[in-house]
Structure 1
Amino acid sequence: MRAEVAASWHRSAAAGVPADEATAPITLGDGDLRSVRAQHPLARVFPLLDDVLGQAARDCDATMAVADEAGQLLWVCGSGAALRRAESIGFVEGSNWDERLAGTNAPGLALRLDQPSSVVRGEHFRHAVRGWSCAAAPIHDPASSRLLGVLDVTGGDEIVVPQTMALVRATVRLAEAELARDRLVARDPAEHPGRPAVRIEALGRNDALLSVDDDRGHTGRMRLSPRHSELVLLLASAPRGLSGDELSVLVYEDEGGSSTLRAELNRLRHLLGETFFGSRPYRLLSEVSGDWLAVEALLASGDVAGAVRAFRGPLLPRSNAPGVVRLREALTAQLRAAVLHAGQPDLMSSWTRSAWGADDYEMWTRQRDLLPPGSPLWALASGQLARLDDEFAG
């Protein structure tokens, strides 16, 4: 058995997925399904996905499915016969194929690994699915790289050929290109008032990704070093600028880093240029946006669901710079508190599904308490609490 499949089996078993369960759980009823589909960014490109991959699936008596980032199938299409067969394993709209609920499968594995994945017949964790094969690839927001969902094709032996995965991946690229085109067409000129602009992506990344636009037709993207990532993030969080001494305190855990800091700032100034970087005090001379700032804004507006979707992980997670640690812990704590206060099991599920929330005992407990005992998510929460109890006891 392939290593990634074996690891998925272990995760499925640890989550308490019954191998003899016939169908996947339904986590979106009809009303919720319509609402989630209408608001999901992939709704814009579903006609394209259906035209390209959906038609190919119908031609070979297979099914095509589009799931959201939680593993919930938002759209399932295929020939009538294929759809009827898929119903027998619960491969229907509204069902959840997160591997912790449905066992090892291609959509769940693609979401877990954030990479194209295939699962062939006996590699499935549940017995009922072992007559099927599937190939899936994740779909990302072209601007933020945020995971939006997954595209899957499921069928019989005809799926187990290299051309299937190639077609799935090509269709994903078409969809992402269409999303990027829409963003360019819809961009509001008022958002670009004649000043240079900088966008920083630092959530869930150890090195920030910087996008720059000098408002004269020159744009670019660059991956910053860990130290430059810290400096840019701290300057972006202090619009009025920071002195060298203030930066030194925020960057270094002990004293004595001032000479090194000056050298790093000089290199950063050379990298960004005078259009974007100023001194006395040190500051960014541009319109600044950042993915963590967007999360803060969403929380401030009360859009907890939007903040959860935008939060791709802790801020520069490996940084030990005191100023970054303070920002990281504050944002994570603020988001966590908002999720708990919102009292919505789906938001809590998004939190506990993540690497940073998987061991959050309070969140699992609150999630379980809000769910009906018959819900598959209730069983998942109970199983995870039992796991944590065992680990704490050990």
Structure 2
Amino acid sequence: MRDLISASHQRSTRLLGTPNNAHPELAIARDELAAWQADAPLAPVYDLLDELVVQPARESGLVVALANDEGRLLWVDGAHRTRGQAEDMGFVAGADWSEAAVGTSAPGTAIAADAPVQVEGEEHFAPAAHGVSCTAVPIHDPATGRILGVLDVTGDRDAAAPHTLALLRAAVAASEAELQLHRIQQPAATRVPKLVPPAAGRIRIRLLGRANASIETVDGRSVELSPRHSEILMLLAWHRDGLSAAELAGYLHPEGMRPATLRAEMVRLRQVLATIDPTIELRSQPYRLDDRVSSDAADVLRAIGRGAHRQALHDYVGAVLPASDAPGVVDIREITRSTLREAVLTQGSPDAVVEWLELPGHDLDVDAHFQALRLLPPRSPKRAAVVARLESLEGNDVA
């Protein structure tokens, strides 16, 4: 099983227990659906996506879905027969297809990983989805980088083919450009994201390759966080819609935390954040972080989503908080590593694969060594080093 799918199955098991509990629920009442669709941040791209994706999908017997950032399906369209099959498994507008509801699926897993995902047949966690394959690509707010939702294609094996992923990447790029144009054309008073003051600078959390996170502002101020505060900030930066106290406690410790202990940590964290920027908001009910805050781990995944593998490799200076054993951080660490690895090995250039092998801790990746040999030209001087490492790992002459 592929790394990204395996990590998703682990999350799904923790969230749902068994596949028998994976059932999409209708999260939006039918009489509220039209108003909800019209108010969605992705509403400006509906017509564009109909032209770019829905019409070709209909001709190919596939179904297209657009989900919001919570994994709830805004609309589903495409081939009539395939739509009937999709309806039978609850793949309808207003349904919740997040990992928390159905486990591993292209829409929900693309949101959880903030990366393109292809899921084939029985890789789905929910048994009802074992008869279909799907591809999903996240759509981001071009102003803030925040994930707005995902574009999905579902159907037979063609739904998870390489050309489908390429089509969705292009459609998402066009959608993000359309969103940017829409934002520019709006009156100035309505353009500013609700949580971002007009003059606010971007705030970054550096997590990669560090025992403790560092939070930095664009004007050069920085502060190193404690291990626990590093974990909390990482989790809230990842879960942009916020976490309840119980969810956050579960992500921090396998047995959870006492509410009073968690509240005390949040009070102390607010005090630390105030020392670097008093305007940073750390909200409660649910706990949610200011939209200005982004992490270097998220930057890596966004670069992968754009197909910028060399940029992602350059930015990936080490694992996410490698000293942490908090369950939620372990998941994010593995998602980041495995997503980058899979993208480099399946879509990267020969030099990108070699660069992956040169990162700390990757010298034991046998499959990556073989992939490098498959991609490198026969006369490349880099082959010798790859062969030498393989021989030391396997004790065989693979030249």
In the superposition, relative to structure 1, how do residues 37 and 322 fare at CA in structure 2: closer, same or farther (>3 Å)?
closer
Q: Look up the match of 1:215.
A: none
Cα distance, 1:325 vs structure 2: 7.7
Kindly, what percent of the aligned residue pairs are identical?
34
Write the deviation string for residues 224-266 of structure 1: whole angstroms up to 9, x where unpaired.
Answer: xx78617567xxxxxxxxxxxxxxxx9799xxxxxxxxxxxxx
In the superposition, relative to structure 1, how do residues 125 and 60 fare at CA in structure 2: closer, same or farther (>3 Å)?
same
Q: Distance in 2 between matches of 1:125 and 1:89?
A: 13
Q: Distance in 2 between matches of 1:6 and 1:18?
A: 15
Q: Look up the match of 1:100.
A: 100
Cα distance, 1:29 vs structure 2: 1.0
Q: Distance in 2 between matches of 1:190 and 1:101?
A: 34
CA contact 1:110–1:137 (8 Å) conserved in 2:
yes
Q: Distance in 2 between matches of 1:90 and 1:252?
A: 46
Count of aligned pairs = 242
CA contact 2:33–2:94 (8 Å) conserved in 1:
yes
Cα distance, 1:160 vs structure 2: 2.9
Bigger shift: 70-79 or 30-39? Answer: 30-39
Cα distance, 1:8 vs structure 2: 1.0
Write the deviation string for residues 115-170 of structure 1: whole angstroms up to 9, x where unpaired.
Answer: 11111111111112111100000101111111111100001112232100000110
Write the deviation string for residues 20-44 of structure 1: whole angstroms up to 9, x where unpaired.
Answer: 3584111111133223211112111
Q: Look up the match of 2:210.
A: none
**Do structure 1's residue 170 and structure 2's residue 158 form an aligned pair?**
no
In the superposition, relative to structure 1, how do residues 325 and 161 fare at CA in structure 2: closer, same or farther (>3 Å)?
same
Name the SS of the counterpart of 2:24 in structure 1.
coil
Write the deviation string for residues 35-87 of structure 1: whole angstroms up to 9, x where unpaired.
Answer: 32111121111111111111121111111000000000011001211111001
In the superposition, relative to structure 1, how do residues 26 and 319 fare at CA in structure 2: closer, same or farther (>3 Å)?
same
Q: Distance in 2 between matches of 1:93 and 1:228?
A: 41
Residue correspondence of structure 1 range 7-18 to structure 2 within 5 A: 7-16=7-16, 18=18
Residue correspondence of structure 1 range 279-358 to structure 2 within 5 A: 323-324=275-276, 328=280, 331-332=281-282, 335-336=283-284, 339=285, 348=286
Q: Look up the match of 2:75.
A: 75
Residue correspondence of structure 1 range 187-198 to structure 2 within 5 A: 187-188=187-188
In the superposition, relative to structure 1, how do residues 104 and 183 fare at CA in structure 2: closer, same or farther (>3 Å)?
same
In the superposition, relative to structure 1, how do residues 60 and 252 fare at CA in structure 2: closer, same or farther (>3 Å)?
closer
Q: Distance in 2 between matches of 1:191 and 1:173?
A: 20
CA contact 2:184–2:191 (8 Å) conserved in 1:
no
Residue correspondence of structure 1 range 48-67 to structure 2 within 5 A: 48-67=48-67
CA contact 2:62–2:78 (8 Å) conserved in 1:
yes
TM-score for the superposition, normalised by structure 1: 0.54
Q: Distance in 1 between matches of 2:114 and 2:150?
A: 9
**Do structure 1's residue 201 and structure 2's residue 202 form an aligned pair?**
yes
CA contact 1:17–1:102 (8 Å) conserved in 2:
no
**Do structure 1's residue 138 and structure 2's residue 138 form an aligned pair?**
yes
Cα distance, 1:318 vs structure 2: 12
Structure 2 residue identity aligned to 1:46: Y
CA contact 2:202–2:217 (8 Å) conserved in 1:
no
Cα distance, 1:100 vs structure 2: 1.4
Q: Distance in 1 between matches of 2:90 and 2:35?
A: 21
Bigger shift: 7-16 or 66-75? Answer: 7-16
Residue correspondence of structure 1 range 123-272 to structure 2 within 5 A: 123-188=123-188, 199-202=200-203, 205-206=204-205, 229=217, 231=219
Name the SS of the counterpart of 1:206 in structure 2.
strand
In the superposition, relative to structure 1, how do residues 103 and 188 fare at CA in structure 2: closer, same or farther (>3 Å)?
closer
Which runs of no fewer than 5 residues in structure 1 stay unpaired? 208-225, 234-249, 254-305, 340-347, 357-386, 389-394
Name the SS of the counterpart of 2:28 in structure 1.
coil
Which runs of no fewer than 5 residues in structure 2 stay unpaired? 193-197, 207-213, 226-239, 244-265, 294-326, 329-399
In the superposition, relative to structure 1, how do residues 172 and 17 fare at CA in structure 2: closer, same or farther (>3 Å)?
farther
Q: Look up the match of 1:91.
A: 91
Name the SS of the counterpart of 1:45 in structure 2.
helix
Cα distance, 1:307 vs structure 2: 9.3
Q: Distance in 2 between matches of 1:89 and 1:24?
A: 8
Q: Distance in 2 between matches of 1:323 and 1:206?
A: 15
CA contact 1:22–1:89 (8 Å) conserved in 2:
no
Q: Distance in 1 between matches of 2:123 and 2:25?
A: 20
| Rg larger in structure | 1
Write the deviation string for residues 279-335 of structure 1: whole angstroms up to 9, x where unpaired.
Answer: xxxxxxxxxxxxxxxxxxxxxxxxxxx9979xxxx9xx999676038665xx21xx2
Q: Distance in 2 between matches of 1:252 and 1:155?
A: 48
Cα distance, 1:189 vs structure 2: 9.5
Provide the aligned C-alpha RMSD in A: 3.9
Bigger shift: 181-190 or 163-172? Answer: 181-190
Q: Distance in 2 between matches of 1:7 and 1:114?
A: 13
CA contact 2:75–2:93 (8 Å) conserved in 1:
yes
CA contact 2:23–2:101 (8 Å) conserved in 1:
no
Runs of 4+ in structure 1 off by over 3 angstroms are 20-23, 187-192, 230-233, 250-253, 306-309, 317-322, 325-328
Q: Distance in 2 between matches of 1:252 and 1:308?
A: 23
Structure 1 residue identity aligned to 2:29: G
Name the SS of the counterpart of 1:136 in structure 2.
strand
